[in-house]
Amino acid sequence: MSYQELLVREQTRRYFFANAGFSIGGLGLASLLSDGRLNLAQAADDPRATNPLAPRDGHFPARAKNVIYLFMAGGPSHLELYDDKPKLRELTGQVIPQSYIEGKRFAFIKKDAKLLGTKRKFVRYGESGMEMSEVLPHIGSIADDICLIRSMKTDVFNHGPAKLYMNTGFERFMGRPSMGAWTTYGIGSEADDLPGYVVMHSGPRGPRGGTPLWASGFLPTTYQGVPLLNGSDPILNLSSPPGFDRERQGDFIDTVTDLNRLRLEQMGDPEIETRIAAYEMAYRMQTSAPELMDLTSESKETLESYNIKNVAKSSYARNCLLARRLVERGCRFVQLYHTDWDHHGNPGTNLGQPLDDRCEEVDQSTAALVKDLKQRGLLEDTLIIWGGEFGRTPQGEPRDLIGRDHHIDGFSMWLAGGGVKGGQSIGSTDELGYNAVEDVVHVHDLQATALHLLGLDHLKLTYRFQGRDFRLTDIGGKVVEKVFS
């Protein structure tokens, strides 16, 4: 039975006792109660009746318990990082054949844009001999732990909607739940004093698209992502006001909870349950969150392995270590956004030094995260996802410098841990890196596969809203069994 069904039952019961009386409608509802379709005893005994984030089983045994999603916001170039194309280098400077671009739309470039081969060298890493760029030597060192998908495909070519599509399965800003929200709705969280779904970001700004990328949409807001900030107050307004000690704060929380529960009994609104849970979680986090953010207990060797130079300064490296600490404490879904991967050819955003800078920022700490999880016995339970919202065109985009435009028809992402079969590459693009041509993996397929590894059937993880059963994968999606077989 779904949590949504339990909420509906509780809401129906409360409405009945408050308003039904002896009307014909009340007699009809009494009949439903008597034949078991509204099993109130089951609802009362379920831990979700008092804790919406209580951990629960999925549809089948899970291979992974947690997710760390490393989102490279802006669209990393697969052609510079993961997908070597000798033919593209050979044809550099020529106009792409018309057959490739017939009927295609681009964000900025014209159809006569010239092909651009990469100047980066590719190296074979690990026992698997997986090919990756020389600019990712540390990620190359974990090649035997990762499953590299070179045949990703999406439908949306502008940043905000494309990020939304990758996170929610839908490109419009209309309130769809994010993958993290669907996950905590489906299987709850094992963290008692931290949110089940946590979001962090690094770079000069947050990702385009903003809070809808980690929102709960039409699901109860209990399941939305909670952004963590840098510093002693990682969540705004978490600290007690001046003059309130912990005992006084606890008395205040107890009083507010009692009042909210009275209102919940009257209304049956799941958002009141969310409010209760939020107050109680915030109270517990006043101790747990500062402890989480304090990295002084980590060894010098650990900090150096992640390339953390200042434990008090926000960075992608620091966020990677915090991600490990979060899953250690039972957090179900952790998402790290790292921005500035949008390399068109504006000043400072070409495929030269700026791309190398982004790689340097994420390479060592990403590999350290995987190795650290593995060393601690956590990798087998933690699914790692690395990638952006789309790839980059094989054609160059001449502006002040040379870059690449947005590209949706073929790009690369990788997975590790959590039941994933490492040391393998899935799919391929054509000789120019334009179209995914073998074992094509659509965004909805990736989402279905991630849910499957968590023990969730993407076809059954649904929520009825406005008369329709919605799911993360919309009306598509298939599990990519090669990822774990």
Structural contact between residues 438 and 425, judged by C-beta atoms closer than 8 angstroms: no
- Choice among 19-23, 332-336, 384-388 with the minimum mean pLDDT: 19-23
pLDDT at position 14 over 70? no
Which residues are CB-neighbours of 244 under 8 A, at least 6 positions away? 252
Q: What is the pLDDT of residues 252-282, one digit of tens each?
A: 666 766 777 777 677 667 666 666 666 666 6
- CA 4/CA 349 separation, integer angstroms: 46
For the chain, percent of residues with pLDDT exceeding 90 = 67
pLDDT of residue 105: 85
Residue recorded with tokens 């649904």: 462
Select the more confidently predicted residue: 266 or 18: 266
- CA 370/CA 303 separation, integer angstroms: 14
Select the more confidently predicted residue: 246 or 61: 61
- The encoded tokens of residue 68 equal 């760390």
- CA 360/CA 81 separation, integer angstroms: 12
pLDDT of residue 119: 95
pLDDT of residue 305: 98
- CA 252/CA 19 separation, integer angstroms: 32
For the chain, percent of residues with pLDDT exceeding 70 = 79
Q: What is the pLDDT of residues 24-33, one digit of tens each?
A: 333 333 333 3
- CA 378/CA 166 separation, integer angstroms: 26
Structural contact between residues 345 and 296, judged by C-beta atoms closer than 8 angstroms: no
pLDDT of residue 25: 35
Residue recorded with tokens 């005992």: 247
pLDDT at position 7 over 70? no
291-305: average pLDDT: 93
User: 411-416 and 382-387 as β-strands: parallel, antiparallel, unpaired?
Assistant: antiparallel
Looking at every residue in the chain, the average pLDDT score rounds to: 86
Q: Counting beta carbons within 10 angstroms of the beta carbon of residue 189, is it exposed (0 to 12), middle (13 to 18) or buried (19 or more)?
A: buried
293: confidence class by pLDDT, cuts 50, 70, 90: confident
pLDDT of residue 204: 85
pLDDT of residue 279: 60
pLDDT of residue 36: 31
Select the more confidently predicted residue: 480 or 284: 480
- Choice among 201-215, 314-328, 410-424, 448-462 with the minimum mean pLDDT: 201-215
